Structure 1
Amino acid sequence: MAVTDAQVRAALAESHPYAKMVAHAPLCIVPCGEPGVAYPTTPEFWIQDLAAACENILLAAVGLGLGGVWCGVYPILERVQAARSILRVPDHIIPFAFLAIGHPAEHREPRTQYDPARVHYDRW
């Protein structure tokens, strides 16, 4: 879902303790899943699909000179229910995340948590 209405974005921001930036971003993308549709025998794969989609959306935003923030919704039931209510999402659809997209208010240097000692080669 693409959420551009300022009042709806404000309600989403209020519903999530770490998503206050959603109220200020011009766009909030809310990827949603329907477990079991793409993979009937392994319905939980929807989580991996949406996580990959979220990352791809954020990378595309950066490629367009924009910024983005991923605010997790699923699996925290209170956040899922609030998003469903605000966005009028049917019960069989699960809101996965809020992706606030816009021009960054500040520039932050990239940081890494990469630790080469945690990389295993060929075997654990």
Structure 2
Amino acid sequence: MSILFKRRSIRKFKNKPIDEETVKLLLKGAMSAPSAGNQKPWHFVVINDRNILNEIPKFHQYSQMLKEAPLAIAICGITENIKYPEYCVQDCSAATENLLIAITELGLGGVWLGIYPREDRIIGLSRLLNLPEGVLPLSVVSIGYADEEKEPIDRYMEDRVHYNKW
């Protein structure tokens, strides 16, 4: 359980690149997420081009940390020609959370940047990354070596737990 409590949203990064082997491990972790009917509708766009990273904050006001991050991964879902398209958002959200846990496990920092359901962000990222028709961008995760420390946190709230009925 410690990795779950240790995972925090990190928005400040050191100017240090992330090697390809680490990127592959992160993607393997993300792709180990569950999906409806095992359809795995996810696709990942690895972004390490400084020009692209600097463009995202122009249409996503809460993504300023990408100007420092050496890497980001966009999590996208295919919504056509799959058995359960209505679960694409959930499937890709599970992959996003797995990615965040993998980031923490590998000693990196990251933060989830929501794209879906904001139309301006969906259009902006789709154009920037040249996503094909039928591919929906759901999130971007900024990734890097943390340049800030945050203590593990217990977010358990007893008043949010109900047994059998509300």
TM over 0.5: yes
**Conservation of the 8 A alpha-carbon contact between 1:84 and 1:91:** no
Q: For the residues of structure 2 that align with 1:14 and 1:65, how far apart are their CA atoms?
A: 29
TM-score scaled by structure 2?
Answer: 0.69
With CA pairs under 8 Å and 6+ residues apart, which has the higher RCO, 1 or 2?
2
Pick the aligned partner of 1:71 from 108, 113, 116. Answer: 113
Pick the aligned partner of 1:18 from 50, 62, 68. Answer: 62
- One-letter code aligned to 2:156: Y
- One-letter code aligned to 2:47: V
Q: Give the equivalent residue in structure 1 for 2:49.
A: 5
What CA deviation, in whole Å up to 9, does each residue of 1:17-39 have, x standing for no partner? 10111121111100111114442
- One-letter code aligned to 2:72: C
- 1:108 and 2:146 correspond: no
Of residues 113-122 and 71-80 in structure 1, the stretch that sits farther from structure 2 once superposed is 113-122
Q: Which runs of 5+ in 1 are unaligned?
A: none
- One-letter code aligned to 1:46: C
| 2:121 alignment partner, SS class | helix
**Percent pairwise identity:** 37
- One-letter code aligned to 1:28: A
- 1:123 and 2:165 correspond: yes
Q: Which runs of 5+ in 2 are unaligned?
A: 1-44
Q: Aligned pair count?
A: 122
- 1:98 and 2:117 correspond: no
What CA deviation, in whole Å up to 9, does each residue of 1:24-83 have, x standing for no partner? 1111100111114442xx422000000000000010010000011000001100000000
Q: For the residues of structure 1 that align with 2:63 and 2:124, how far apart are their CA atoms?
A: 13
Aligned CA RMSD, in angstroms, stands at 1.4
Of residues 17-26 and 70-79 in structure 1, the stretch that sits farther from structure 2 once superposed is 17-26
Q: For the residues of structure 2 that align with 1:62 and 1:56, how far apart are their CA atoms?
A: 10
**Conservation of the 8 A alpha-carbon contact between 2:69 and 2:144:** yes
Pick the aligned partner of 1:30 from 74, 81, 85. Answer: 74
| 1:65 alignment partner, SS class | coil
Q: For the residues of structure 2 that align with 1:112 and 1:64, how far apart are their CA atoms?
A: 21
TM-score scaled by structure 1?
Answer: 0.91
Q: For the residues of structure 1 that align with 2:53 and 2:72, how far apart are their CA atoms?
A: 7
Give the C-alpha shift of residue 111 in structure 1: 3.3
